[in-house]
Structure 1
Amino acid sequence: MSPERPPLLLLPGLLCDHAAWAATAAGLPQYDCRVPEWGLLDTLDAMAEHVLASTAEPRFALAGHSMGGRVALEVVRRAPHRVTHLALLDTGYQALPNGEAAEKERAGRATLLARAREAGMRAMGQVWATGMVHPDQLGTPLFDTILDMIERSHPDQFAAQIHALLGRPDATSLLGDVRCPTLVLCARQDTWSPLARHEVMAALIPDSVLHVVEHSGHMSPMERPQDVADAVRTWLARPESGAAAPDASKVGRA
């Protein structure tokens, strides 16, 4: 690999593939952008091990969207020395909650999986993806692209990734140990992984930068690829060592 194009691993979320990152990656031609496939891997641990095992370079920049952000944190947990920069987009860090909230999540995901098996992935996606984008995107070619992406997956892959998310580890204690330049990015209208969660996450990661993408839902790398690419480019320009000046857009609460 040419040193002029350093590796940038772009980890996709639930039922996402290369299409989730394609438009953002197109705005980053100076980087060797790679999007792994999860196949039937059914734990975040296994996904993180897959990323590490399939990346030949000793060091790389790492960005994860949604479930991919959780995988990125597990990569950092295992091999912090290999990650030069970390970006967490429209994601989370806590384990499955206890009690009624957990049962509600399990039931909701089981209902979607049942629909996928009975009516097909695209029919399930039409229900699920409606809440994943800004309302202005409904019925647009972009929404059709998202449905096409979902349809490329199989219900067994959906089941495996649901299993991974329901068994997600808590990464709260890890956040304070992150030492590489970190971007925490969230769309203003992301109702799936809301901004308030990212404010807390940014406050817990030393010297992180919080960036808010306007007029976008959860699928920010597809909905606002130029805004995301610009934020990623600025993040990658931060030096690996030494503290950067605090960013004025960072809003946090302990």
Structure 2
Amino acid sequence: MNEKTKWGHWFWGLFFLACAGILVASKMGRFSYHIGFWMLVLTLILVAATIKSIVYFSVSGTVFSLAFLSLLYAKPLGITSLVPWTILGATLLLSIGLSLVLQPFKRKLSRHHAHITFEKTGNYTGQHFSDTTSTDYESYVEVNVRMGSTIRYVQSDNFQQAVINVTMGDVKVYFDHATVVEDQVKIELNGSMGDVSLYIPKEWDVQMNLNSLMADLGEKGLTPTKTGPKVFITGNFKLGDIEVYYV
């Protein structure tokens, strides 16, 4: 068990023990503001969602979790005149604004982790705080991420197409062990407020035909030779960061 997993077990163990204590204390009338059972359950879920969003650097997840908490406790907070639409509207604008402002810092942190790992192993393996990691052997690959992160390794013997859908998430897809039989393949990217990192063999001839709105597009890694099959990157992406790493 690595250090991150061990500390994660300690943290969540203590968190749920504290939740049990709060539940008992609330039923004993130790709080001046009465909290019902289901309200307490929703509170614990939203607090957990907030903590997870902070750990995974999800701006939107953090802001919206806190917004829903404020809706639950509008009366003791004295903001009943602002709920629900004013709070939700302000939260949406705040989420977009913070995502744009913090995007360079998040991108810098992501590249820092990737650079350290590359120095140690000679391979890009991305961040170490991903929700899921899996391997695909099919010709058609589909990746769907919403408010989370994932790492996907494509090792198909006849790779033809990948569809990547991201909403407020982080995705890393490795194509360096995929074999292309045809003359061309397609990678479709769709989503908003997300980070997508594609690790592609330097021999592939990447053609960027992506419709993007306020999204940063970049190429890193080795110098591409473009002697292999054509790879068309298409789709629609808004408010995000897309990086192609040649390996």
Structure number with greater Rg is 2
- When normalised by structure 1's length, the TM-score is 0.24
Flag the structure with higher helix content. 1
Flag the structure with higher strand content. 2
- When normalised by structure 2's length, the TM-score is 0.25
